[in-house]
Structure 1
Amino acid sequence: MSTISPLSNSIDTDSTEETKSSPVPSHTSDEGYAEAIAATKREIESLKVKLRNTKEELADAFLDEVSDQMGIQPLPQTGYKVRKTLKGHSSKIYAMYWSPSQPYIVSAGQDGKLIIWNGISGNKMLAIPLRSPWVMTCAFSQSGKMIASGGLDNRVSVWDVQSKDSSSLLSSKITAEMMGHSGYISCVRFVSDEQIISSSGDTSAILWDLSRSKPILRFEEHDGDVMSVAVDLPQSIVVTGACDSFTKVWDIRTGHCVRTFAGHEADVNCVRFFPDANVIATGSDDSTCRLFDLRYDGEISIFSHASIAGGVTSLDFSSSGRILFAAYDDFNVSAWDTLRAERISVISGHQNRVSSLGVSSDGYALCTASWDGNLKLWTQKP
């Protein structure tokens, strides 16, 4: 317990009088501080302008121009062939996701089911009925032991998926349900087997503790629905794309936005890391895909074609990163040479919007999901 020192009683009268007679400080010093702060702010803004101008001066070429100067040959026109069509959903498929550790695919349909498929045989391994049929997203954990989903019920649901061997899944058990968003869940991605992140129509993203089903951090700076999220744990960063046309980079340790990328003219529907995680790919309703380099802190490439009128719905890279696959509203998928920004293939076969796509962890197969109710597995033609 704090006490008052007895020395306070021994202060002599002279010192007391001196204290009483000390002049009251004027406001001059406060005004000086305010002016110093204002001057510092002006200097900071001036430095920001100089930095921006210097960066623009140095940004004298896009990736395709540099590739041309270096004599990098474009990829040849390439064809892709359907190897299997996975039929099992009775309504639109909104999302699919490959397991990072096994040849399994999880798909989410508006028939109110999550289905896990064997990506090699094409067999259905497990169907999980959902509480709400309005599911919009799904994901596998890095270990392949858990799956998650979310949708218009504003809820993130997580299941443990038990497997006996590589050919059969025995059961699933719901282990966590997280409610904290006030809008629909647009995307879920596992950070680890202990944490998951979700983006939402409430303009935020949330990092969750799965053991407690409680939020750890909120990411809140967008001015529109957050449509997609991606995580790179080694760099401790999260990337979000939103309907405000911006892509934001966040520190996953603090929840602070550390970078904002502009350039798109409409909603940013999807974000994806390049295999080395130093570059971000984005897809938008403006019919373009763009690459943003985290080291350069700016846009380095744009992918567009006069024949493409629909918005971009989903993105993924080949295992080397040389090819960028982009799904569109026009029922097609385009394959782009990332170095030359040239389209090398148009992948057609679905009868409705291609809502989601992904490349298998071994890089061998591309899976596409569509509102026509089917998933298709593609490989490059010999």
Structure 2
Amino acid sequence: MAAQQGASVSPLRALEEALGLTAGGDATEEAEGTYYLEQVTITEGSEDEYEYEEIPDDNFSIPEGEEDLAKAVQMVQEQSTDAEILEQKTVLPSKHVVPEVIEDFLCNFLIKMGMTRTLDCFQSEWYELIQKGGTKLRDAGNVPDVYIQNMHLDNENKTLKKDLKQWKQAADKAREDLLKTQKERDFHRMHHKRIIQEKNKLINELKGLRLHYASYEPTIRVLLDKHHNLLRQKMLTTMERDKAIEQISAYQSSSKTMDPWNGYQDTKVRGIPSYKKEFASEGPTQRALREAREQYKSKLKMKERRKDSEFPTDMQPYISRCLPRGNDSPAKFDYLLSTIFRLHDLPVSCIVVHPSKDMLVSCGEDHLWKAVGLPNGNVLLTGTGHTDWLSNCCFHPSGNMLATSSGDTTVKLWDMTGGNCTLTFEGHKHAVWSCTWHSCGDFVASSSLDTTSKIWDVNSERCRCTLYGHTDSVNSIEFFPCSNTLLTASADKSLSIWDARTGKCEQSLYGHMHSINDATFSPKGHMIASCDSCGVTKLWDFRKLLPIVSIDVGPSPGNEVNFDSSGRILAQASGSGVIHLLDLQSGQIYKLMGHENEAHTVVFSRDGKSLFSGGCDGTVRVWT
């Protein structure tokens, strides 16, 4: 077979061309692509006048000598064998059986590398095997592509590693969940054991109390019998006394003399005064009822004599005290914790500074309020009278009275000279959160958990108006300085502005997304500040009733906000224990860190040089 670079010709095809069978013979090709060779004899008597020339065989020569003669005989035998093979009918395999692609690849590779001897050996051995039928190409199958197989194995390995990683992560997460569940199980098991121990302890104590009570039962029965006997004796004594009084009255009536001008003459019978003669026949129960009825009538007459206060339309005596005082000193932000006053056993809910004296009042959840002298912190007065926690307090514009609100649903007024309660307002159905004085000093307003606010008249001692409109707890209330306008903040996320004379809501402000805990006016009255339960503080333009700015210092709740006397600094008491100071000119926020727990209230001193804050640990902290 003659092979060239890029293409190859099979040796069998070359042999056919050499014999001239493919061009002029009678070779036939069947449908399956199989070739048959037949021997053709050309006779001399052919009519073809073509002259054939003899082709000399240059390669065939008879060697000389005996050895050469043996080789010549062998060569002749091989040629005769080849002729016999040619005479036989040869069946060639189909083209698709021979892997020509592999054959061409090998031949081209050997030619390119110059390995001609290897090429000759390969061709000879390959086609000899094919001719002898020594190979079964169909059974050999396709030669596997190692690179593709390696690539598939690599992809499969990557997939398995990825699955292994996922399963490992799932196993780690399951292990963490298992540990967490085991810890929760152990915790609940210990809690269950503790509850069982407490239950057994209570059962034992209950058994002991029952035994102890059983030991007192005979004594209790004896005392009950004595009590019933005493009641019977008291009843008999009362009946005998009433009978004796009737006899005395009858005897007295028979011995009286008639005065034609003055009626019966006033006399004394057995020490009974004459002004009690007409009630001498009354029993003790009737007498007590009559006296209570008279006292109630006298109170009603006193209230009727007291007139309702009028809402002011002009300046009042205390109007100068409610105006903000000028503060020419520069704003101060570098407050430092200087003193801690431990005043209450429970959290401090409110701090107010006296309008003219160096004194502050703190209210606590221990049912007490305390007046503290500054700067020493000595307790001057202690107010007791509320039966539940105190929520807020406010000084009268003159500073002589104090109003407090409490969880016992009442508002009390206190005299600051002696610390005595002078008046109690009752009417709210739930806890009262806040209270505030009118600038004239004749009215007190309060807000409550029952979604209402009330305006109380100090002179007539009654509720003048109830403000309805909020749909949730009203957490804060404050009078606008020197006016009849009220500001309320509610848990329904809204602020409302009311006319105290009519009790109508004039305007509502919306913008907070959570419950509003506190709201206050600036000293000049042109701005409103409010804070909610997520630490968002908002500033509102009171003249335009529009929001100005919103500051988020959360997520801890803002419990209270207050301006300093200049109106430049806004302080906020946060649930995280941080006191935030907002500079309204630059917008910068300063933080005061000193409370260990939640801060409930914050207030400035009159001159702005000090700051007071109260926390849930029952202390009042002074910042200077």
TM-score range, shorter chain: 0.7 to 0.9
Gaps of 5+ in 1: 1-74, 163-170
Correspondent of 2:543 among 285, 292, 295: 295
Deviation, 1:342, is 2.7
Deviation, 1:378, is 1.1
Aligned residue in 2 for 1:107: 362
Return the alpha-carbon distance in structure 1 between the equivalents of residues 501 and 607 of structure 2. 30
Q: Letter of the aligned partner of 1:227 in structure 2?
A: N
Gaps of 5+ in 2: 1-329
Query: In the alignment, is the contact (CA less than 8 A) between 1:303 and 1:341 conserved in 2?
Result: no
Aligned residue in 1 for 2:480: 232
Correspondent of 2:557 among 304, 311, 314: 311
Aligned residue in 2 for 1:359: 604
Q: Choose between structure 1 and 2: higher strand proportion.
A: 1
Aligned residue in 2 for 1:174: 421
Any idea what SS the aligned residue of 2:419 has?
strand
Return the alpha-carbon distance in structure 2 between the equivalents of residues 102 and 143 of structure 1. 11
Higher relative contact order, chain-length normalized (CA < 8 Å, sep 6+): 1
Q: How does 1:195-344 map to 2 (within 5 A)?
A: 195-305=443-553, 308-343=554-589
Query: In the alignment, is the contact (CA less than 8 A) between 2:498 and 2:506 conserved in 1?
Result: yes
Aligned residue in 2 for 1:72: none
Query: In the alignment, is the contact (CA less than 8 A) between 1:103 and 1:360 conserved in 2?
Result: no
Aligned residue in 2 for 1:83: 338
- The Cα offsets for residues 255-282 of structure 1, whole Å up to 9 and x where unpaired, read as 1111111110011110110111121110
Return the alpha-carbon distance in structure 2 between the equivalents of residues 109 and 101 of structure 1. 23
Q: Letter of the aligned partner of 1:267 in structure 2?
A: S
Q: Letter of the aligned partner of 1:377 in structure 2?
A: V
Deviation, 1:377, is 1.3
Q: Letter of the aligned partner of 2:474 in structure 1?
A: V
Query: In the alignment, is the contact (CA less than 8 A) between 2:444 and 2:458 conserved in 1?
Result: yes
Return the alpha-carbon distance in structure 1 between the equivalents of residues 358 and 468 of structure 2. 35
Return the alpha-carbon distance in structure 1 between the equivalents of residues 483 and 441 of structure 2. 18
Aligned residue in 2 for 1:5: none
Aligned residue in 2 for 1:374: 619
Q: Letter of the aligned partner of 2:503 in structure 1?
A: G
Return the alpha-carbon distance in structure 1 between the equivalents of residues 402 and 489 of structure 2. 22
Greater mean deviation of Cα atoms: 293-302 or 126-135: 126-135
Deviation, 1:110, is 1.8
Q: Choose between structure 1 and 2: higher helix proportion.
A: 2
Q: How does 1:31-180 map to 2 (within 5 A)?
A: 78-162=333-417, 171-180=418-427
Q: Letter of the aligned partner of 2:383 in structure 1?
A: I
Return the alpha-carbon distance in structure 2 between the equivalents of residues 326 and 131 of structure 1. 28
Query: In the alignment, is the contact (CA less than 8 A) between 2:578 and 2:594 conserved in 1?
Result: yes
Return the alpha-carbon distance in structure 1 between the equivalents of residues 386 and 544 of structure 2. 45
Q: Letter of the aligned partner of 1:142 in structure 2?
A: P
Query: In the alignment, is the contact (CA less than 8 A) between 2:382 and 2:419 conserved in 1?
Result: no
Deviation, 1:233, is 4.1
Return the alpha-carbon distance in structure 2 between the equivalents of residues 279 and 78 of structure 1. 21
Tell me the TM-score normalized by structure 2. Answer: 0.46
Aligned residue in 1 for 2:594: 349
Any idea what SS the aligned residue of 1:121 has?
coil
- The Cα offsets for residues 165-193 of structure 1, whole Å up to 9 and x where unpaired, read as xxxxxx22211100111111000111143
Deviation, 1:137, is 1.4
Query: In the alignment, is the contact (CA less than 8 A) between 1:114 and 1:130 conserved in 2?
Result: no
Query: In the alignment, is the contact (CA less than 8 A) between 2:489 and 2:495 conserved in 1?
Result: yes
Q: Letter of the aligned partner of 2:434 in structure 1?
A: C
Deviation, 1:126, is 1.1
Q: Which has the larger radius of gyration?
A: 2
Deviation, 1:120, is 2.5
Aligned residue in 1 for 2:158: none
Over 3 Å counting, the alpha-carbon distance change for 1:249 and 1:124 in structure 2 is same
Query: In the alignment, is the contact (CA less than 8 A) between 2:343 and 2:620 conserved in 1?
Result: no
- The Cα offsets for residues 105-149 of structure 1, whole Å up to 9 and x where unpaired, read as 111112221100113222211112233132211221111111121
- The Cα offsets for residues 21-61 of structure 1, whole Å up to 9 and x where unpaired, read as xxxxxxxxxxxxxxxxxxxxxxxxxxxxxxxxxxxxxxxxx
Identity %: 25
Query: In the alignment, is the contact (CA less than 8 A) between 1:245 and 1:265 conserved in 2?
Result: yes
- The ranges of structure 1 where at least 4 consecutive aligned residues each deviate by more than 2 angstroms after the TM superposition are 75-79, 233-236, 339-342, 361-364
Return the alpha-carbon distance in structure 2 between the equivalents of residues 113 and 215 of structure 1. 25
- The Cα offsets for residues 48-98 of structure 1, whole Å up to 9 and x where unpaired, read as xxxxxxxxxxxxxxxxxxxxxxxxxxx999421123211121111111111
Aligned residue in 2 for 1:56: none
Query: In the alignment, is the contact (CA less than 8 A) between 2:331 and 2:568 conserved in 1?
Result: no
Over 3 Å counting, the alpha-carbon distance change for 1:77 and 1:198 in structure 2 is closer
Tell me the TM-score normalized by structure 1. Answer: 0.74
Query: In the alignment, is the contact (CA less than 8 A) between 2:561 and 2:571 conserved in 1?
Result: yes
Query: In the alignment, is the contact (CA less than 8 A) between 1:291 and 1:299 conserved in 2?
Result: yes
Return the alpha-carbon distance in structure 1 between the equivalents of residues 496 and 544 of structure 2. 15
Query: In the alignment, is the contact (CA less than 8 A) between 1:114 and 1:127 conserved in 2?
Result: yes
Greater mean deviation of Cα atoms: 223-232 or 118-127: 118-127
Q: Letter of the aligned partner of 2:573 in structure 1?
A: A
- The Cα offsets for residues 320-355 of structure 1, whole Å up to 9 and x where unpaired, read as 111110011111110011234331x11111122111
Q: Letter of the aligned partner of 2:426 in structure 1?
A: M
Query: In the alignment, is the contact (CA less than 8 A) between 1:113 and 1:133 conserved in 2?
Result: no
Query: In the alignment, is the contact (CA less than 8 A) between 2:383 and 2:420 conserved in 1?
Result: no
Over 3 Å counting, the alpha-carbon distance change for 1:133 and 1:279 in structure 2 is same
Any idea what SS the aligned residue of 1:80 has?
coil
Query: Number of residues paired by the alignment?
Result: 294
Deviation, 1:234, is 2.5
